[in-house]
Amino acid sequence: MRSVAVWCKVALAVTGAVTAAAFAAGCGGGSGAPKEVVLVTHDSFAISKAVKAAFERESGLRLRILQGGDANEMLNRALLTAGDPQGDVIFGIDDSILSRALDGNLLEEYRSLGLSALQPDFSSPDPHVTPIDHGEVCLNYDRAWFASHRIPPPRTLADLVQARYRNLLVVENPATSSPGLAFLLATVATFGDRWQAYWRALRANGVLAVDGWEEAYTQEFSGAAGSPGKRPIVVSYASSPAAEVIFASKPLSTAPTAAVEDGCYRQVEYAGVLDGARNEKGAKELIDFMLSRRFQADVPGSMFVYPVRQGVPLPEQFVKHALVPEDPLSLPADEIDANRDRWLAAWTDIVVR
């Protein structure tokens, strides 16, 4: 019995110390002017160390980044804590979920002066959000596979139902993956009312649907470096071929994969000031910074998406190997909002059941 008492004392001391440390960490900088600004974002967010340091130097604020889940999961966490948010700025809301953020009264209005420097496509958003970057979800294919099998790679979405592309395509589940949803929207935008017939034909032609981008690209797609996959066509991004070159183990002159121009769907990513932010002024400074030339020029290299600001040059590898679709598909946010759940249910019935 004695020994129990001793263990309890040790345990109590340890827990006490931990709790004290937690308090110290949690309450740091509790009063006075805020010394930090907190960015709530998704798993794909990235920023160069030098660019982050530049913001911290110019603003005098520490930038703290909280990541977790994809864009949709990030938004749901923000909705859960609406009014008493985890951070000051939220970044990574795209068109397919924008209406839910607006309906949830999650964001405060803010019009950054930087908006005037954006490309015309992006310069007049809803007053609650600021566009930061855009990326295109496109079909990618494995060049070597198509060359060695002497089959021409697909050029349009409609090609994919042909017999010669049987069992070659892997896609993401649109209910659980953001590129998966973008691809579903691309088929709706392309085929209109006939999109369900198109997916039935895809299923008959052996399409494989997996949970998310990681499974599709790194496990099932044959063109990704080091992948055990056997399928040479995947739903990924217009910039993925450039990434294969930039992160190759040895220098490559041509990309091992290529993106298909037809059927590319545009995702614009927005930032907004969270309602109830502890540091509202810092939040606005951060959004201004995200529109600055410096941050915009960093966006391709760190997140593999494209800048929205005018006249920001792309890195050389992007110019050479990434596709910048001329006329990407998109659907109006209110149409997506009115139909999303119905479309997802129909897709699940066609492809999963």
Partner 1 sequence: MPLAFLAVFFAWPLGAILHRSLVVDGSLDLPFDVLTASSTREIAWFTFWQATASTVLTLLAGLPLAWALARFSFRGRSLVEALVLVPFVLPTIVVATAFLALLPDGVERSIWAILLAHVFFNVAVVVRVVGAFWAGLDERLWDAAATLGAGPGQRQLRLTFPLLAPALASAASIVFLFCFTSFGVIVVLGGIRYSTLETEIYNQAARFFDLRTAAALALLQLAAVAAVVVVSGRLERRLGGARRPGRPTPRPTGRRRFAVYGIVLTSVALLLLAPIALVLRSLRVGDGYGLDHFASLFDETPALLVTPWHAVLNSLLFATAAAVIALAVGIPAAFAVARGTRGVDALLMLPLGASAVMLGFGFLLAFADPPLDLRSSVAIVPLAQALVATPFVVRSLAPALRARDPRLPDAAAVLGASPGRVRREVELPLLARPLAVAAALAFAVAVGEFGATVFVAQADRPTVPVAIFRFLGRPGADNVGSAMALCVVLMALVTVVALVSQRVLARGSR
Q: Which residues, 62 to 91, sit near partner 1 by CB under 8 A?
A: 64-69, 72-73, 76-77, 79-81, 84, 86
Q: Quick one: tokens of 116? A: 């005037």
The stretch among 15-23, 114-122, 281-289, 306-314 that binds partner 1 (CB under 8 A) is 15-23
Nearer to partner 1, 11 or 338 (CB): 11
Q: Which residues contact 40 (CB under 8 A, 6 or more apart)?
A: 66, 74, 77, 78, 85, 86, 87, 89, 90, 91, 274
Decide if residue 296 touches partner 1 (CB under 8 A). no
Q: 245 to 284, contacts with partner 1 by CB under 8 A? A: 246-250
Q: 130 to 149, contacts with partner 1 by CB under 8 A? A: none
As measured in angstroms, the least distance from the Cβ of 124 to partner 1 is: 29
Decide if residue 103 touches partner 1 (CB under 8 A). no
Report which of 228, 252, 253, 223 is spatially closest to residue 240, judged by C-alpha positions.
223
As measured in angstroms, the least distance from the Cβ of 22 to partner 1 is: 4
Q: Quick one: tokens of 71? A: 């864009």
Contact 144, 256 (CB under 8 A): yes
Report which of 231, 232, 258 is spatially closest to residue 245, judged by C-alpha positions.
258
Nearer to partner 1, 122 or 183 (CB): 183
As measured in angstroms, the least distance from the Cβ of 102 to partner 1 is: 15
Decide if residue 222 touches partner 1 (CB under 8 A). no
Q: Which residues pair with 329 in a beta bridge?
A: 265
Q: 197 to 216, contacts with partner 1 by CB under 8 A? A: 209-211, 213-215
As measured in angstroms, the least distance from the Cβ of 151 to partner 1 is: 21
Distance between CA atoms of residues 45 and 23, nearest Å: 29
Distance between CA atoms of residues 213 and 177, nearest Å: 7
Q: Quick one: tokens of 82? A: 């609406």
Decide if residue 29 touches partner 1 (CB under 8 A). no
Contact 212, 176 (CB under 8 A): yes
As measured in angstroms, the least distance from the Cβ of 250 to partner 1 is: 4
Cα 265–266–272 angle (5° rounding)? 145
Nearer to partner 1, 151 or 344 (CB): 344
Q: Of residues 228, 253, 311, 327, which one binds partner 1 by CB under 8 A?
A: 228
As measured in angstroms, the least distance from the Cβ of 21 to partner 1 is: 6
